[in-house]
Amino acid sequence: MSTFISLLRQHQQAFEQQYDNKLNHDMRSAIHAMLSCQTQQQQQVKWRCTECEHSEQHPISCGHRHCPQCQHQTTSDWLMRQQQKLLPTHYFMVTLTIPYQLRALARYQSKAFYKILFGVAQSTLKDFAKRQNKGEMGFTMVLHTHNRKRDLHPHLHVIIPAGRYDNVKQVWHKGDKHYLFNEFALAKVWRARLLDAINHHDTLVLPQQLPRKWIVDCRHIGYGEHALQYLSRYLYRGVLPDRDILKVTSNSVTFRYRDGQTNQWKIRVLPPLQFIWLILQHALPKGFQRVRDYGFLRGNAKTVRLRIQQLLMTVTKWIAPIQEPIRGKAKRRCPCCQHDMQYAGIIRLS
């Protein structure tokens, strides 16, 4: 069992009493799902072997995206899909941040706030690309809700291939590997548009004092593969992996994190209830998409994307990634004869 789920089960009553006024519906749903994940209270899935008649029953996983015991297949599937979209060109990563004064909106009105965050970010980037007047840009946008210490710190990572595609002339315009956008100008527009969008929302209210300068980072990251692997670690495997929880006592939880400045491991110690809140505050609204593709990287632009890859294959020695099928049926190997077992249905426990 996951260390975090074990902690949650042990301290559930005390935690819900202490944080009752802070818990929203999505957090409570996450708690319920994780506590029932792979337990005897869940329905059971039955497997049988057609060769030796061996059969097994296993508790069903909850499938919740914040559960540390689930979603490992989802992570590998997402990474494979993104790798199939890679182009033989330089990539940039743009990081759009918000000041800490807006984090209360992310915590208590997350669905409305994050929707605005994505909308403003994608329109701002598209408008900056139009100024270069060289065709359509493609990019993948990922929402991260925490910093390395796991405090609430919403920000957007955007992976962008350096180049544009002219769909009319069917020409690829190579980008500059040393420059994408002016990050200071991007930060000013990002700030102005986001504040304006929040001001025009029916329920979101801006705090009185906000910094005049916001931080936007725009940097060259090589050929994209490394950035995709980095982002995939934090998408579907929970906020903190078990391997980083070093020690659990009745009074404290010790976990490690890697410092962003020194790249060295550091230690953080919290009381159990505070640690549980630290993790659960990152629960996202049901159905909310934290990863989105735009331009020629969007899902329904496969034909355009393949055309771009073919164009680039003619000028480089690059070989397009194999379009492997994603996510087949679940499989299980028989422990007796090593043949594939057959799914035999769901057993509903009374």
Q: Are 80 and 326 in contact (CB under 8 A)?
A: yes
Per-domain boundaries in the chain = 3-64+327-347, 72-239+286-313
Give tens-digit pLDDT for 30-53.
898 888 887 765 567 777 887 787
On the 0-12 / 13-18 / 19+ scale of CB atoms within 10 A, 56 is middle
Secondary structure (3-state) at 115? helix
Give tens-digit pLDDT for 286-328.
889 989 999 999 988 889 988 888 888 776 666 656 555 444 4
Structural element, H or E, at residue 58: strand 55-59
Over range 165-177, report the average pLDDT: 87
The more confident residue out of 69 and 268 is 268
Q: What is the pLDDT of residue 326?
A: 46
Over range 164-189, report the average pLDDT: 89
The first and second tokens of residue 201, run together, are 């929302």
- Asked if residue 339 has pLDDT above 80, the reply is no
Q: What is the pLDDT of residue 168?
A: 86
Q: How far apart are CA 47 and CA 332, in angstroms?
A: 8
